[in-house]
Every structure is written in C-alpha cells, then in structure tokens.
Structure 1
Amino acid sequence: MVEIILNKGKDKAAWQLHPWVFSGAIGRIEGKPQNGEMVKVFNDRKEFIAYGYYNGESRVAIRLLEWDPANQVDEGWWRRRIQKAIELRNNIFENGQTTTARLIFSEADFLPGLIVDRFGDFISVQILTTGIENIKPIIVDELNKLLKPKGIYQRQDASARAHEGLAVSAGVLLGEHPPAFVEVLENGVHYHVNIAEGQKSGFYCDQRENRLYLTKYVRGKRVLDCFCYSGGFSLNALMKGAAHVESVDSSALAIETLKSNIVLNQLAETSYTAVQSDVNKQLKKYWEDGRKFDIVVLDPPKYAPSRSSLDKAARAYKELNRLGLSLLESGGLLASFSCSGAMDIATFKQVLAWAALDAGKEIQFIYQFNQPDDHPIRASFPEGEYLKGLLCRVV
C-alpha cells in the first residue's frame, strides 16, 4: 500500500479524526497511487495515523476512513459501515408514517462521498468521490441485500464529481428505472417524488422534523411558502388546518409536483394558490399590493457554497428576509432557513436582526430549527452541519 507522509505540524486534524487531508498538508508520497486508491497516512515521524483513499486531482487529496491500523479497509469493512448506517435509521420507519429518509450521509457515516436516500421501494444514490466510485459494485450489492428495493438509481452531481475528476454519471444501477413519480410518506403526508429529474436526490428529507414542528402554529392561518419545491411546508400546513396556503417557486417542475401532491392528499384545491415566479420578485409584488400573511416560510437554495462567498450571501439572505418580514404584522411568524454550511447560526441570527431593522420590525427568536437525526453531525467533522433555521415572531 502506498504510504503518504504529512508535513510537520499538518497532522493535528487527522489525529483528531477529521476525515479530510488537503493537498498542501502532504510532505511526500512513497509510491504512485491512482486516484481512488487506498493509502496509509503517517506523520513526519512516520507514525501511523489512518487509512484513506487518495485523489491527486482534488483539493481534498485524502479522505480518511479508519484510524485503527489493525482494521484494514477491505470489502468487509465497507459492507459493515453500510450496514451500520442503515441500522441506525431503522427507528424512522417503525411507525409506518414515513417511508423516506437519508440512509447514508457521507462523512457523518464514515463513508465520505456517498449519499444514499430511501424513497419507498426505490433507493437513490449519489457518488461524489473516486474512492466511492471504485467500490460502487460493493455498495449496490450491499444495498440490495439489506433493503431489497425495486430499483437503485444513481443521481448525478456534476459539480462535485468534476472536482474529483469524475465524469457525469446517472442511471439505473440495479432493478427497475423509477417511474416519473414515486409515492412516499413523510409523517403521514403523501408525496410524489421525481427521483430521476428532481432537485438534489429528488426530495428534501432534511426538513422532515421542521415541517412537522411548524404545524403547531398553522391552524386558521394564512401561510406563504417560498421556494416551496414539491410542497413540504405547504402540504403540512394544509393538513393541519391552515386557512389558505400560497406556494411560490421558480421551477415549473416544482409547481407541477406540488399540484400533484395536493390531489394525492385529497386536499381542497381552493385552499391553496400555486405561483411560478422568482421569489424575490413575487415578495416585492405582494408588498406593493398590500398583501399580508400570518406565517411566511423562506427555504432558499444554498446562497453561500463557500466561506469566500459568505459576505455576498449574507446580503442576499438579508434582502430576502427583509421582504418576507415586510408581509407580516404584529404576531406574525417568519420561518427562515439557510442550507449554507458556511453560514453559522450566530451569523444567521445577525443577518435576520439586520433584515428586521431594515423592514422596520422588532422580532423575537422563539425556536431554532436543525437537521434531523438521519443527517447526523459527526463531532470530528463539524462541516457536516449545514441546515439551520429560525422561527421569528414579529412583536
């Protein structure tokens, strides 16, 4: 096995079980590893640190997997890790009210570069690193043994794969091709999920608990759900007695899926309005028209993909939340989210405080939203914490 020796003083994070070794930390390589090949990692005194897989084309040159030198990373190791991750999610499905969740969450499950989601009888897989690409047959076989799905489908993530020097790849890995819409349950709400063409893995199961929590406040209320996608917050609000829900998204596919989900749950079509529009433009229109809502949900895409873009993202978050707050009166609620890992909760609170000031509103933070237990945050990998949200009350 190729041996990689780190520069002096560049081994601290690795000893602390952080799974990333950046290319600049490498002192020398004894051998010529292929991309995705397993390597041994040592400090400058040639003390063993961990096994990992290597990629010379990636800024993260080594993804560390195992710190015990006696536990070599072989086929059995990979299978045990997959088994453990899935076993830890069994509780989510026990009551029969939920049939969709994240089964494997990359570094958090000691499987960096692998994302696996369950959608009823189908499995969606994202493979983002060369090391995981090399063991794809093992992954597919183990998922099939454990879950017996109708089909396993690989989603493409072109940008992440490009960083690893991987070609775009998507399609059926095993079994049937998923139909245009796969029906799933989340907390008793029915959804049609487009696995092959929908955003990300096909459905945002990371908002499962947050959607349910917000229903405490919706009965008899006028709810505005922005960036609604397939209608997670909208459907939950309608199911729990909201007077009316207005759902906004720029995607025609999202609006089409939302309408399908309204019918699927046998909800009154007069109880909601679906608007295909740019959210910021639509919020400005509502303000110009003098529209008011009792609850506004803002769940935008990732504005800050990296720390270098954080200042620009903060300005975008502030303007979005200013517009949302302008549609609320005293007692109104704003549920605002950020899925940008670079935006920590303290910064997000400050951004919302600025937005409230610009909107001429005084707000209270009454609840903090987080990612659910199928998206765990590994203590040695805080970068896995990305989803955050705040429930704010206008006073």
Structure 2
Amino acid sequence: MNKIILNKGKDKAAWQLHPWVFSGAISKALGKPQNGDIVSVYNIEDEFIAYGMYNGNSRVAVRLLEWDPRNEIDEQWWRNRVKKAVNNRLSLLTDQNNTVRLIFAEADFLPGLIADKYADYISVQIHSAGIERVKDIIIDELAQLLEPKGIYERSDLKSREYEGLPDTNGKLFGDVPPEFVDIIENGIHYQVNIVEGQKSGFYCDQRENRAITAKYVHGKKVLDCFSYSGGFTLNAFREGASSVTSVDSSALAIETLNNNIKINGLDSKNHIAVQSDVNKYLRELGEQGEKFDLIVLDPPKYAPSRAALEKASRAYKDLNRRGLMLLNSGGLLATFSCSGAMDIETFKQVIAWAALDAGKEIQFIYQYCQPEDHPVRASFPEGEYLKGLLVRVV
C-alpha cells in the first residue's frame, strides 16, 4: 500500500480522529498513489495513524477512514459503513415521514458521500475520487438494504472539479425517478424533482425547524423567503397562518410550491407566490410600507469557505436588516445560515449588527440546529453547518 508521511507537528489533528489531511501537512509520499487510492498515513516517526483516500489534486489530500490498522479497507468495510449509517436512520422513517438523509459524508465515516431517501427513491451525490472508486459497492449495498424503486446520481458539484472528477448525473439502479416524486415530511406531501431540483432534490435538513417555526404562525401574516418548494410555507398554512407570501428566484421552485399547496388541499386564496430576487423584493416591500408578523430567511450558502466569511457576513447582515425592518412590534424572524464557515456566535453578532442598523431592539428566543439524520461527529465540528435563530422584535 502507498504510504503518506506527515510533517513533524502536523499529525495532531489526525491522531485526534479529524478526517482531513491537508496537502501542506504531507512530508512525502512513498510509492505512487493515484487519485482515489487507499493509502496508509504515518507520522514522521513512522508510527501508523490511519488509512485514508488520497487525492493529489485536492487541498484535502487525504480523507481518513479508519484508525485501526487491523481493519483493512476492503469491500466488506465499505458495506459495513453503509449499513451502519442506514440503520441509524431507520427509526426516523414513519408513515408521517418517508424522507431522510441516509448518509452524511464525514459524519458517517464516508467522506464525500451523500445519500438521501425520498419515498421509494434514493438520490446520491459523490464528492470524492475515493468514493467514486467504490460507487458500485455502495449502490449495491443501498439497493439490498432498502430495495428502492431507483437510485439516481446528482453529482453535478463544484467540489468534483477539485477532485479531478467530471459532473455525472443519471440512473445507478432500478428506474429513473419520475418528474415528481411524492414524499411525506411532517405529515405534509411534497412533489420533489430529484432529477432537476436543487441539491439532491429537497432540503430535508430543515424538517424539524419547519415544524418548530410553524408553532408561532397561527393567525399571523407570514413572509417565507427563499421558499424553494414550500417547506416553511406549507407548515405555516397547516398551523393556521392567516396569509403567506412565498418568494424564490426560481420559476421551477414557484411552480412546485403551488403544486404542493394543491396536493395538500390547502386554501391558496391567502397565498401569494412571487418569483423574484429576495433582496430586491424585500427592498420593494419596505418602500411599500408592508409589515409582517413572522418572516423566514433561509438563504443559500453565502460563505463556502472561511476566506469568504467577511463578505458573507455583510450579505447576511444586509439581508437580515431588510427583514427586521418589515416586522411589526412583537414580530418574529426565523433566520438561518447553512454556511459551515460561520459559527453560531458569529451569526448572532451579525444579526445583532443587522438589528442595530435597522433601529430594532431584539431578543434571541430559540436556537435552531440540524436534525438527527445530519449528525455532527465529535472529531469533525465542521459538519455543523446549519444554524438558525428565532428572533423577536421587542
């Protein structure tokens, strides 16, 4: 097996079970490892640390998998990891919820692999060359464990470029998903477009946060920004919101949202769906003097890396300032960040600055997080990407 030797003093994180070895930590490679090869990682004193997947193109040069030298990374190792991840989620699958994240990359010791279950179909994303090598094994194990109608790959990701991999979309097992797959989350039906929708098709990481936020909406005027297929909107209507305005820049998202309202038999006469840039629309609402009782801000990732954090903080501040200015006294802002580079304390500070600029006094009354099927591995805090705050305007 090819061998990677780490520089002196650069082995601490690896000993502490962190799964990433950056290229700058490597002293030398013995042998000629190719992208996707399994390598053994040693410190400068020639002590074994772990096995991992190598990629010379990536800043993360080795993604560590196994710290016990007795556990060979063979076909059965991969199958066991997939089986463990799936079994840990089975309790979340009920008649009220048939959608769940089955595999969450590093959190499940499978770096570069995402798998989501949408009713009878599984959507897969592969981010790393090492996982690409064993894709057939992983798909076969998922098919045996869950017997889906089909498994579809949505590996059209920027991260694949850094791994030297082309974009790949298509059927991996069984049938190609229909244009819309009917799923259930929190007892609400959604039509999910796995083949062309955003990410792997749906944002199941907000499942619990949608239900929590809906507890506050009865009789309230709600604005749902970056609404996508209507997760927060539908939960709000079910819990008795007096009206909901949903805003998204995607025509497909708005079409899907309107269909979701119909299939759930919800009264759409008090619903307004707006295809628009959210910041532009918030500015227009402010000019019109509109006010709301509860606003949801669930934007895309503004900070893909720590280098982008300062710029992202300004974007989050401006977005939230506009939202806060549209709230009535006593109104609530449910605001989120899915940027892993932004921790919760920084996010709180950004919202505090936004409130100051908006001339609003606020209270933080609840702190959102990602759900059980998106666990945070103790040795990989970077996996804690989703955070949110429920803010009251005093």
- TM > 0.5: yes
Task: Write out aligned runs for 1:110-149 (5 A).
Answer: 110-149=109-148
Q: Which residue of 2 aligns with 1:72?
A: 72
Is 2:386 the counterpart of 1:394? Answer: no
Cα deviation code 1:50-74 (max 9, x no counterpart)? 0111111111110100000011111
Give the Cα–Cα distance (whole angstroms) in 2 for the partners of residues 178 and 309 of structure 1. Answer: 36
The aligned amino acid for 2:163 is: E
Per-residue deviation, 1:156: 2.1
Corresponding residue SS for 1:377:
coil
Matched residues in 2 for 1:157 and 1:52: separation?
24
> 1:157, 1:336 → 2: CA distance?
28
Q: Distance in 1 between matches of 2:74 and 2:157?
A: 28
- 1:158 deviates by 3.0
Amino acid at match of 1:90: L
Report if aligned partners of 1:19, 1:381 keep a CA contact under 8 Å in 2.
Answer: yes
1:90 is matched with: 90
Cα offsets for 1:193-221 (capped at 9, x unmatched):
00010000110000000000011111110
List structure 1 segments (4+ residues) > 2 angstroms apart after TM superposition.
none
SS of residue paired to 1:39: strand
The aligned counterpart of 1:273 is 272
- In structure 1, the partner of 2:344 is 345
Partners of 1:303 and 1:61 lie apart in 2 by 25
**TM-aligned CA deviation for residue 34 of structure 1:** 1.2
Matching residue of 1:381: 380
SS in 2 for 1:217: coil
Provide the residue aligned with 1:49 in structure 2: 49
Paired AA for residue 117 in structure 2: R
How many residues are paired up? 394
Q: Note if 1:20 corresponds to 2:20.
A: yes
**2:214 is the alignment partner of 1:219:** no
SS in 1 for 2:269: helix
Q: How much is the aligned-residue C-alpha RMSD, in angstroms? A: 0.6
Contact 1:238–1:271 under 8 Å retained in 2: no
CA distance in 1, matches of 2:166, 2:184: 33
User: Equivalent pairs: percent with the same residue?
Assistant: 69
| Offset, 1:28 | 1.2
Deviation at 1:269, TM superposition (A): 1.5
Give, as a single letter, the amino acid of the residue that structure 2 aligns with 1:131: G
- TM-score of the pair, normalised by structure 2: 0.99
Give structure 2 stretches of 5+ with no counterpart: none
Q: CA deviation at 1:96?
A: 1.3
Instruction: Look up the SS of the partner of 1:233 in the other structure.
Output: helix
Question: CA shift at 1:268, angstroms?
Answer: 1.0
Tell me the secondary structure at the aligned position of residue 32 of structure 1. Answer: coil
2:368 matched to which residue of 1? 369
Equivalent AA in structure 2 for residue 218 of structure 1: V
TM-score (norm 1): 0.99
Q: Secondary structure at the residue paired with 2:215?
A: helix
Aligned partner letter, 2:102: L
Q: Aligned letter for 2:37?
A: E
Distance 2:68 2:383 in 1: 23
Task: Tell me the amino acid that sits aligned with residue 213 of structure 1.
Answer: I
- The amino acid of 1:193's aligned partner reads V
State the distance in 1 between where 2:41 and 2:314 align.
41
Q: Deviations over 1:121-171 (max 9, x none)?
A: 000000110000000110110010000000000002331110100011110
